Structure 1
Amino acid sequence: MTAAPCDIWFYHLERSALEEVLPGLLEKTLGRGWRALVRGGDPARLRALDAHLWTWRDDSFLPHGLDDEPMADRQPVLLTDRLDNPNGGQALFLLDGAEPGDLSAFERCILLFDGRDEEALRLARGRWKAFKGAGHPVSYWRQGAERGWEKQA
């Protein structure tokens, strides 16, 4: 018996920055009882996100860490630029064109991209075709007028 392919969700950011959207998605992920692996391509950006996640909202605590810190494998949310999955995350968040790597360990892959960036759009379109061609169920979510998410495909 083979495992079901990882669901791929594309989040097209048009009205909000990644820093506004990512924490809420991570909270929902943890609310499902899942761990999250946040994979980015720029270590400096990941460090900035790490600092942001500690202070993003006064009434919320989002447990997380960076992959080069002690006990990274125990973090519910782990920020990394590597291709492994040391915290056993069920949800993979791809930022800034980061490579997906092997998706077999993940239930869901969430690719967030800036709709105002032509290169990010081009990369997202190419990944859509590749994931769909590989048999992954893909969904496309776009920010609505009220900043909520509307499933488009």
Structure 2
Amino acid sequence: MRVDFYQLSRDPAESALALIAGKVAGNGERLLVVSGDLGQRQRICQALWSVGPESFLANGFAGENGEDRQPILISDEPQPANGAKFMAIADGQWREGAEPFARTFFLFDQSTLQHARETWRALREREGVEHYYWKQDGGRWVQAG
């Protein structure tokens, strides 16, 4: 299991998720995006549909028809009804599914920084977990410490 910690400082989770989702989908994989905040889930949906003038990232909400066919499924629970092996946590609140995901993208900001630090320490104690820390440097992501 791999966990990538993304510290948001410049852009909101919606922007970072569009980049992450684009790479995951571009590799032919499926993604589950999780947030406990309904407003944030709606903003994520909109951001994915409007990535660029000539492209979009098809997505849908958990609980709606056809969720098993969605390349990107947006939910409030870590249950990959679309068969995703990748999960992005958008609200800075760590959670895990019944089965481990191959890779989890954990996005957090200043308001959830302490929780992210606690999660980092807890995961460091577990065997078989690789974890990486990314931060924004100008307009790009760089691996840190």
TM-score norm. by structure 1 comes to 0.86
Q: C-alpha distance in 2, partners of 1:84/1:107? A: 14
Root-mean-square deviation (CA), in Å?
A: 1.6
CA contact (8 A) 1:39 1:98 kept: no
Instruction: Give 1:68 shift.
Output: 2.1
Instruction: Give 1:55 shift.
Output: 2.1
Gaps of 5+ in 1: 1-5
Q: 1:108 aligns with which of 98, 103, 108?
A: 103
Q: Go from structure 1 to structure 2 and tell me whether the alpha carbon gap of 1:103 and 1:34 turns closer, same or farther (over 3 Å shift).
A: farther
Gaps of 5+ in 2: none
Q: C-alpha distance in 2, partners of 1:33/1:103? A: 23
The alignment partner of 1:59 has SS state of: coil
1:127 aligns with 2:122: no
Runs of 4+ in 1 over 4 A off after TM superposition: none
Over the matched positions of the two proteins, sequence identity in percent amounts to 31
Alignment-derived partner of residue 12 in structure 1: 7
Q: C-alpha distance in 1, partners of 2:133/2:51? A: 26
Q: Go from structure 1 to structure 2 and tell me whether the alpha carbon gap of 1:103 and 1:26 turns closer, same or farther (over 3 Å shift).
A: farther
CA contact (8 A) 1:38 1:95 kept: yes
Alignment-derived partner of residue 142 in structure 1: 135
1:90 aligns with 2:85: yes
Counterpart AA for 2:65: P
Q: Residues 104-132 of structure 1, C-alpha deviation per residue, up to 9 Å, x if partnerless?
A: 44210000111xx2x31001101111111
Alignment-derived partner of residue 143 in structure 2: 151
Alignment-derived partner of residue 71 in structure 1: 66
Q: C-alpha distance in 2, partners of 1:82/1:9? A: 19
Paired residue total: 144
Q: C-alpha distance in 2, partners of 1:20/1:128? A: 23
Instruction: Give 1:19 shift.
Output: 2.0
